[in-house]
Amino acid sequence: MEILKLSLFIDILLFLVPLLRADINRTGCNRTVEAGDVLANPLLTGYNKGRPYNCWFLVKPRANSAPKDVALVIVLKFQRFQWGQLINATTCIGGNLKIYDGPTALHDSGNPGFYCGEIERSRLFISENNMVKLHFFAESYDDRYQFAVYTRQEQQQQLVERYGHHPPLYPHRRGQPMTPGSLSCDREFTDCRLQTCFVQSPNFPGVYPRNRRCLYHVSTRQPFIKLFTEDGEFNVDGQRCDNYIMCPLRPIGEEICPHDFIRVYDGNSESAVVIGTFCGIGRFPFSIVGTGTDLLLEFVSSTAGPLLNTGFHFNVDSWPGNVGSVFNQHMVQQPTEKSTNDSKHNPVCSYVLTSASLEGSGDSEGLFLSPMHWYLPNTVCTYLITGKPEQIVRVYFPTFRISKPDAPIKQPTGDCSESLTIYDGNTANPARIIKTFCDTFSKPLERKDFLSTGNSMFIRFHSRIGSYSGSSINFWAHYDFFNNSQPEGLKTADSDCDVVYEPATRTSGQWISPFNTLLFKRSADSSDLKCRYTFQGNRRSSSRVMLTLQSVNLKSVAYPCADRLIFRDLKNDLTILDVSANRLKATGNYTSTRGKGYLCQLQFQMGNMSTPSRILSSTPSLLAALHIDALRSTSLYFKSSSPVFSGRYDFIHPLYICGSPRPNVTVDGVINLPQYFEDGDVVSPLICAWDFVIQRENKKVAGNETAAMMLNVEVSGLLNLTRVQKMSQCGDPNGNFVEVTVPGNEMPLLLLCSKPERHNDFYKGIRLREGFDDLDIMKETHYQPDVNYDYIKSSGFSTSLPLFHSKLPHHKAVIIVKLNNLKTSYGVRISWSAVH
């Protein structure tokens, strides 16, 4: 029995020996397997040890495991992998693994590259298609070669790390092939917005394949295109082995990337400027912001490498929002300063901003930003803001942040690695610095106005360290322009808006509130704005001052504005003082001053039109004071397109021509104009104004009231005047006129003015009567003019005007005569009969 058993054992052994001697390639490999199977290296025996190992496995989804319209991927989990040896990080010796992904698995095409080395932790390879082929090769199989691979299948929509949430809504989230039908990994991404474009290494989030070169063209609608990672994980050639002692981790950087890397171009082609070349492992610490709407990414993996590195996943957006169009709205690009790095050119970030382009846009303020994109070390960005010759520049920062540089290209050393300097002028003149901000110690100033003294301001940003994603001095800056031209008159030193007007400088001109509305920009704790206007004439050449207010746009605060110079608003008003300039106290207290009126709108309204208000002084001096309450000054007047008030001033009534401004009405009298003229004199035009003051009788007049005085006005026909009701009906508002008016009445008693201008040379050269005693007229005894002038006989105008006490609210009538040319023999005769 024992002999029979021994014989049977020998027969079985003789049968198995040939099988054990068979090639191990034909034992359990070179076969198709279904997802879910486990692949492992064969047991080491005396027959396969030292022999070549060449084995492949084609992994497909399980039959009928998912609907046909559901896309599947194959997940390979390498639980154990030790295969061959990686030499010089470029070559696999002794053995390697090739992984074919997709159709290439059927015919071993595509040059997939080689994996070798070992892992100490499990690694995933996730296919892009629904089949994967693994091809293991060993020159001499022994116990140094081991693998254990767990396979499974997953639906694409369940692979959130790769395809995101709701992948059917974003079918092109991972881009589209640049060449349709090609097996290339090149991808095109268009119109990228947040969460719509996933720029990933092949086979992400698994280990990326070897021997690949992939191009990714990424674009957005608006600059500045921004490339960033949400979780920060990045692993491109971060390790060449899994032993942390023998093979330390490579930190993320761009100094040396000899094998696997990703390169970013600032444009849509490889001829664009290279922003940087990156490799390493860790959290990608910054965003990359391009200067336009396009970036090109190039990913390269070496022919041979470890089964370790998982690649990258970038999101794409534009930063911030659609600010690119705003950034360039009013800017003109200028040549940039060159970097010291000759291998790269700085992005464009130097601009000129002008008031003309801002006005053309229709905006009241312009906007410019700190560099929001990448820039090289030693980059300089400039903003030259230029207005019209009469303008000044204002810049303020609604948003201003200063932080530590978080994405430097070059590590900072020392203070002020990035700075922003504001200059008063059009160049970077160190003597004209308004303010400098540094990234290490300066405090940002929001809402503070920085003003130029001229029409230009120059702002210079300088970075010694560069940045991948914009400046550490982050700001949104607004700029605008203000008319800083000086109204007529002499501005008082050390005052905001005080002006002195003198006839020696100019006898007439424009009188207007400050052009620069920045004066009205005041905080609640600021002092009120007070502007004083001093009109200082002299008795001989200008014994009176006449102000004509054409518009008043004061906003009442306390109660509705008075219309008769009676009530004061107590907040915003224009005060008129008929006093000598020397009497105005330095405190501005007008309460003890007589002859005072407060004005917050024009005196009379006629329909929808305001008639000009005229103020006549009784002395050679007149004072006006504008008072604006600080509490509401900014909201009511800052940047107002209408002046607070506008009008004109005239130094009038030279005594040596017009005589006394207050004739004696108790006796009959006469005034002839012109009374005196000398060829060398400069008085032209001539304006005279007389106050005919009639004292009111205490007793009541019984029955019908009789005239208190009779005025007679005769005008030479050579003046070519016509009678109208109001000044707006005159053909030439600046021409000759004769006006008789009663203060307090809306309509003048008499208004004669020039007809539309006609050219007539007939009157040229007509002179005053010869033989006039010029020197005698200069004596003070002749201030009351006499009849010493012969009129040329011609048809003219003559009328008599009775004056009644009841019709004179202020007990007086005023006659104003304006003659533009005294070199012609025409005149006006005014006479009156004494009061009875």
Tell me the mean pLDDT in the region 586-609: 42
Residue 40 has pLDDT above 80, yes or no: yes
Please tell me the distance from the alpha carbon of residue 494 to that of residue 508, in angstroms, as a whole number: 25
Give the homologous superfamily in CATH for domain 324-334+348-483: Spermadhesin, CUB domain (2.60.120.290)
Mean of the per-residue pLDDT values of the chain: 80
- With cut-offs at 50, 70 and 90, classify the pLDDT of residue 254: low
pLDDT for residue 76: 98
Angle (CA) 145 150 154, round 5°: 145
pLDDT for residue 746: 72
For 323-335, letters b (16+ CB in 10 Å) and e give bbebbeebbeeee
Does CATH place domain 498-652 in 2.60.120.290?
Answer: yes
For 142-162, letters b (16+ CB in 10 Å) and e give eeebebebbbebbeeeebeeb
Tell me the mean pLDDT in the region 791-797: 54
Give percent of the chain with pLDDT exceeding 90. Answer: 44
Under 8 Å between Cβ of 147 and 78: yes
pLDDT for residue 355: 95
Higher-confidence residue of 25 and 777: namely 25
Under 8 Å between Cβ of 133 and 100: yes
pTM of the predicted model as reported, rounded to 2 decimal places: 0.74
Tell me the mean pLDDT in the region 505-521: 91
DSSP 4: H
Under 8 Å between Cβ of 468 and 407: yes
Residue 386 has pLDDT above 70, yes or no: yes
pLDDT for residue 1: 53
Please tell me the distance from the alpha carbon of residue 94 to that of residue 111, in angstroms, as a whole number: 19
Across 589-593, 623-627, 767-771, which has the greatest mean pLDDT? 623-627
- With cut-offs at 50, 70 and 90, classify the pLDDT of residue 256: confident
Higher-confidence residue of 471 and 679: namely 471
Residues 6+ apart with CB under 8 A from 162: 126, 156, 174, 198, 200, 204, 205
Cα 404 to Cα 310, 474, 654, distances in angstroms: 31, 11, 72
Tell me the mean pLDDT in the region 556-579: 50
Lowest mean pLDDT among 231-245, 326-340, 378-392, 517-531: 326-340
Give percent of the chain with pLDDT exceeding 70. Answer: 78
267 φψ region: left (φ > 0), alpha (ψ -120 to 50), beta (else): left
Under 8 Å between Cβ of 232 and 284: yes
Provide the pairing of β-strand 450-451 with 433-438.
unpaired
Residue 180 has pLDDT above 90, yes or no: no
DSSP 781: G
Tell me the mean pLDDT in the region 824-831: 76
User: Both tokens of residue 295?
Assistant: 């970036």
Query: φ and ψ at 353, to 5 degrees?
Result: -120, 125
CA dihedral (446, 450, 455, 459) in degrees, to 10, reads -70
User: Both tokens of residue 676?
Assistant: 């005196």
Residue 41 has pLDDT above 70, yes or no: yes
Please tell me the distance from the alpha carbon of residue 459 to that of residue 351, in angstroms, as a whole number: 10
Please tell me the distance from the alpha carbon of residue 684 to that of residue 672, in angstroms, as a whole number: 17
Fold matches, 160-318 and 498-652: yes
Provide the pairing of β-strand 529-536 with 499-501.
parallel
User: Both tokens of residue 418?
Assistant: 């990035």
pLDDT for residue 683: 53
In the chain, where the domains are located: 31-156, 160-318, 324-334+348-483, 498-652, 668-756+793-835
Name the residue type at position 514.
P
Name the residue type at position 625.
A
> What is the separation, in whole angstroms, between the first and last Cα of the chain?
178
Does CATH place domain 160-318 in 2.60.120.290?
Answer: yes
> What pLDDT, in 10s, does the model give residues 345-370?
555 678 899 999 999 988 999 999 89
Residue 618 has pLDDT above 90, yes or no: no
Lowest mean pLDDT among 109-113, 335-339, 697-701, 814-818: 335-339
Please tell me the distance from the alpha carbon of residue 648 to that of residue 601, in angstroms, as a whole number: 16
Tell me the mean pLDDT in the region 810-818: 87
User: Both tokens of residue 601?
Assistant: 């709108």
> What pLDDT, in 10s, does the model give residues 281-315?
988 878 899 989 999 999 999 999 999 999 999 99
Give the homologous superfamily in CATH for domain 31-156: Spermadhesin, CUB domain (2.60.120.290)
Q: Would you call the peptide bond into 258 cis, given omega within 30 degrees of 0 as the criterion?
A: no
Residues 6+ apart with CB under 8 A from 574: 549, 552, 554, 598, 599, 600, 624, 625, 626, 627, 644, 645
Under 8 Å between Cβ of 555 and 538: no
Residue 770 has pLDDT above 50, yes or no: no
- Containing 478, the helix (H) or strand (E) segment is strand 473-483
pLDDT for residue 477: 95
pLDDT for residue 587: 31
> What pLDDT, in 10s, does the model give residues 100-139?
998 877 776 778 999 999 998 999 999 999 999 999 999 9
Lowest mean pLDDT among 456-470, 583-597, 617-631: 583-597
Lowest mean pLDDT among 568-572, 602-606, 644-648: 602-606
Query: φ and ψ at 719, to 5 degrees?
Result: -75, -20
- With cut-offs at 50, 70 and 90, classify the pLDDT of residue 835: low
Residue 629 has pLDDT above 60, yes or no: yes
Lowest mean pLDDT among 136-140, 194-198, 309-313, 674-678: 674-678
Name the residue type at position 66.
A
pLDDT for residue 631: 85
Tell me the mean pLDDT in the region 380-401: 95
Residue 555 has pLDDT above 60, yes or no: yes
pLDDT for residue 772: 25
- Containing 104, the helix (H) or strand (E) segment is helix 104-107
